[in-house]
Each structure stands twice: as C-alpha cells, then as structure tokens.
Chain A
Amino acid sequence: MTNLSVLYDAPGPRAKRRNVLYAVLFVAVLGAFFWWVLQTMADKNQLDAEKWDVFVTDSRIWTTFLWPGLQNTLIAASLSLVIALPLGVLFGIGRLSDHWWIRRPCDVIVEFFRAVPVLLMMIFANAAYAEWSNIDRDVRPLYAVVTGLVLYNASVLAEIVRAGVQTLPRGQGEAARAIGLRKGQTMVFVLLPQAVTAMLPAIVSQLVVIVKDTTLGGAMLGYSELLTNARLVSTNYANTIAAYTVAALIFIALNFLLTSLASWLEKRLRRGKRGTGTVVKVDPSGLMDQPGGVALTPDVSVPEPRAVATTGASPDSARTDVTS
C-alpha cells in the first residue's frame, strides 16, 4: 500500500478486518440508497427506455441542441477569460501600486465586484444594454453574460495576480531594482512573468468557475448555452430528468478535463522547481482541489515542516477565492 498516511498506523490484522467491515457496511448503505433511488425512479417511469435512449438513437438531439449549446458555453467562457485576464492583471498591479490614488480605486472596484452576485450583474447588464445600446437582440444575452462574468472574474484574477506577485521571493524585486530597473520595468520584466506562470493553474481553474457560471445567464437571460438547450431537449422529448442528467455529465466531463489540465500544469511547474527544498509529497488527484483552485505554491526556499496529509498545497498562502 503506497498511500500510507501519518494519520493512522499501518493496519494490523485486526485493523484490516475492521476496515473491511467498515468498507462492507459503507458499500451496503450506499448501495441501498442507490437501489432505492433507482427503484423509485423506475416506479415513476423515469427510467423508461424512451426517455433515455433518444440520446443514442436520435442524433438530432446532439446536432440541433447539445453541441451548439456546448459551443455557446465555450464561446462565452473563453471570451470572458480572454477579456478578464488583462483587466485582472491591470487591477492586480494597481492594487500593488505605491500611489494611493491608484491603489485605493483599484481596491474599491475589486472588492465591489467580488461582493456582488454574478447573476445580479448579468441581469443588470442585459437590462442596461437593452435600454441604452443598440446591440442586436441576437447577441445581447451573450454580451450580458460575458459582461457579468468579466466584471466578477477580473476582480478574482486581480486577487490571484496580486497574490502571485506577493508570494515571489523578495530577492526578485530587490535584485531587479539593484540592476537599475525602474518600478514599472521590475513589474513587467521580472515579477509579472513569474507570477503569471506560477498562477497558471489557478487561472485555468478559474475557467472551471466561468464555465459553470455561464449557466446563470442561460436560466435568466435566455442565452442558449448548454443548459438552456438541454431544457429545449426536455420540452421536445418530455424527458426532463434524463436531459438534465446528460447536461450535468457533459459539464462534469468538461470541467474534469480543465481541472486535470490545471493539475498537470501545476505538476510541471512544481517539477521545474525541484531542489528548492520542497518536501511535500504530491498527490496527483488532489492538486487543484483547493477552494477556487488557487493552489499557490510559494517558492519554498525555506524548508517547510513536513505536513500531515499527502496533498501539496498551502491554504493560507493567498486569499484563495471560492466561487459559485
């Protein structure tokens, strides 16, 4: 057994028997629960073949509804990230400025948009565009969704960037100043590249949040993303539970892919730093599993005390952000 934790002793014969007993009990309870769920669903005809097999037999579901919906989800999510990233960098640097008249407004803006629910911002943006702009009806929901996501995620990314710069060793900035770089140059040529690289996993994880949040726009504004189109499937085939389940599975698969990408990036970055004294073991399954995925790994030049569990993450190294 490779996953020996310091939290418990290596199991002896009795402990092994007990663990087996626990496992059996646990599986029995879990199994009973699932059996009850499936049984009840079957009783209510929710497992009828015609509700589910259309997803296999009728390819039009995918070509007319789900695939275009997924595309719209991805379009909104990637547009939001592409716009929010530079804004986030700008505000993140702004919050680190030495001048209070730059720092304070950035503080206020970031804190404001972090405190307001994304859904509210989307509804507001949609109504505002309808009232005061001549954006066409076809794309107005997209604009509203992207606006809400950008405002919120730019402020989250600002925090990520700020935390990234702050966790860099002080020597980096000092050395840059010592060779005569100005403050702006230090930031652009020395600190920012390192910070963004270190924060790359966190940024990818933020994409998971953005993907999930596009569904808010669908429900309230009529942007035809994946969930909205799954609703149309349910209207056409009268299989609401099946349609939503399939939509959920697509979301889980997509986000799992993104999470895996993030932890792969994290592992690569960590490997690049090997030899700096990090002794935390790596559990590949749990790398990005912090709230909001901000797995900041400060450059551990001071050997950390060996930690108890098996994941390599430090919870308090940044104001990690959790989002919907």
Chain B
Amino acid sequence: MRLRKASALAASVLALSLAATACGSSDDEGGDGGSDGAGSGGGDSITIGIKFDQPGLGLQTPDGDYAGFDVDVATYIAGELGYEPDQIEWVESPSAERENLLSRGDVDFIAATYSITPEREEQVSFAGPYLLAHQDLLMRVGETVSSPDEINELTLCSVAGSTSAQNVQNDFAPDAQLLEMGTYSECLTGLENGTVDALTTDDSILAGYASQEANQGKFELAGLELSNENYGVGIPKDDTELQQQINDALTSMVESGAWDQAVEDNFGPAGYEAEAAPAIGEIV
C-alpha cells in the first residue's frame, strides 16, 4: 500500500514533467521539420546562416526582414541555385556556432562575416572569397590616427572574446586600453559620448554601423589595414559540387555588376572604399 502510493506520487510527478517536456519537444519537431525539408537541397526551400545583429552585413530589420551585404550575396547565390527569395529560410549563426551548424547540417551554407582561416578549413569548406575586409578603427568624425603606433594611446572598444579584441591585445596595440562589451552597439554609446576613442573590428562591420541612418555623419573609418579578413561562404566539409556552384554564382554576381551595387547599397553612406571583388580562391 505504502509503496503503491509513493509510486503513484512519483508517477504523477514524472508525468507532469514529461508533459512539460513534451510541450517543448513538439516545438522542437516543428523546427526540425522546417530545416529538414530545406536540408535536402533542391527542394522547395533553402536554409542559409547569417548574422542577425550586424548592420551592413546581416541585420534583422524592424519589418522582420533581413538586410545587408551578406544577405544580398546569399540571396544572389540562392537565386543562381534556383531558389526565389521567398524560399530562403534565414537562420541566425553566431560566430561560435558556425562550424556546428554546418557539420550538423542545420544550414545549407553560411554567409556571416566568415573569414577563411586554415583552422576553420579543417572543419568546414569555403567557397569564394567574396569580400576582402581589414580590421580597422571607427572614430568620431574629425579624429584620426595616422600610424598604427598611435593606437597604443587610445581607449578602444570591441566585443568580448572576438578575434579583433585578441588582435589588439596580442599584436598591434598591447598598451591600448581595451573595453570589451557585449555588443558593438554598446561600444557605440561610449564612442558617441567621447569615453571611448575608437571602435575596432572588420572595416565592413564598421562601415555598416557608420552607414546607418542614425549614425550618418557622426563616425568615420580610420582607413588602417590592420589585418586581412577574407570573407568566404561556409559550406559542409568537402562538398565540392556545392562549392563549384557557389563559386560560379559569385563570379556571375561580380560580372553582372550586382556585387558593386550591393557594396554601394550597404556601405555607400560610410564613404567606405571597399577592395575590388576578390577572385575566387584568392586568399590574401
């Protein structure tokens, strides 16, 4: 009797928690179904990983759409692969998750400020590159630095744990004051108010911020080329067929002038002189 009651209690508790988890997992299946259909490729939709929070490259807009250079490139590639814009499912791919997403097959390809590096090429393959960016400084209009040495005297801001932040500390400005915040927008507040002298990361991202309506005319790029970042399209390891298709798509995007148009649309207001479109396979 005692045992029966005890186990009845245990069972009901268990049932309750299972019911709760079941609610959760039905969500899960919903999500799964969506990306599975996409994962098959050539079906009725395609899943692409982008950043959701970087103006100029990949940003979720108030309309619920996505805008930026990466988005334009990805949309063009998808078009060449035979998908209309409304067949694209956008997936947020934070920096630390990109390899995971590709190897688990959660996305078909990734265009998310994804620099081609030897370490990453061990885990995933790349098509492209489609843009050559450099680490740079974003400063208030009228202020500038002429040589990298002067950076040591500045207060810089970057995002915690990012490669740009590590570059500052390890390579070109070990003596600079470095503030590491959660997002670039938080850095921008300090830059706007004069507490921070410069915001540092890839010039493409900086140009994206400087081009935003609310920021136009307030900030400009210092124009230093502190590093080379070859943005590539991340694809599952050794998928040479997809690699070839994307490379063809990128070539046609540059030839048709759509590439220049995308640069102008997304970075134009910042006065950012983008490098000419890199040739396929040309890693600087």
Contacts and interface: CB of A to CB of B under 8 A. Distances in A.
CB atoms of A and B under 8 A apart anywhere in the complex?
yes
A142 B30 CA distance: 14
A79 B63 CA distance: 29
A28 interface: no
A253 B79 CA distance: 46
Contacts of B192: 44-45
Contacts of B276: none
B62 A61 contact: yes
A231 B183 contact: yes
Contact of A240 (B35, B60, B61, B186): B186
B98 to A, nearest CB: 11
A241 B101 CA distance: 33
A222 B94 contact: yes
B63 to A, nearest CB: 6
Contacts of B24: 79, 139, 142-143, 146
A136 B101 contact: no
Interface stretch (B15-23, B130-138, B140-148): B15-23
B162 interface: no
Interface string A34-73: 0000000000111000110000001011001100000000
A240 B189 contact: yes
Interface in A87-129: 87, 89-90
A241 B2 CA distance: 59
Nearest to A83: B20
Nearest to A41: B193
Given A58-B62, A83-B17, A136-B32, A182 B1 contact: yes
A238 B20 contact: no
B119 interface: no
A50 B189 contact: no
13 contacts: A44-B193, A50-B214, A79-B23, A137-B31, A137-B100, A137-B101, A139-B31, A143-B28, A222-B92, A231-B53, A231-B185, A236-B55, A238-B185
Interface of B: 1-2, 5-6, 9-10, 13-14, 16-17, 20-21, 23-24, 27-28, 31-32, 34-35, 52-55, 59-64, 91-92, 94, 97, 100-101, 104, 106, 182-186, 188-189, 192-194, 209, 212, 214-215
Interface of A: 44-46, 50-51, 58, 60-61, 64-65, 79, 82-83, 86-87, 89-90, 130, 134-139, 142-143, 146, 182-185, 188, 219, 222, 231-232, 234-241
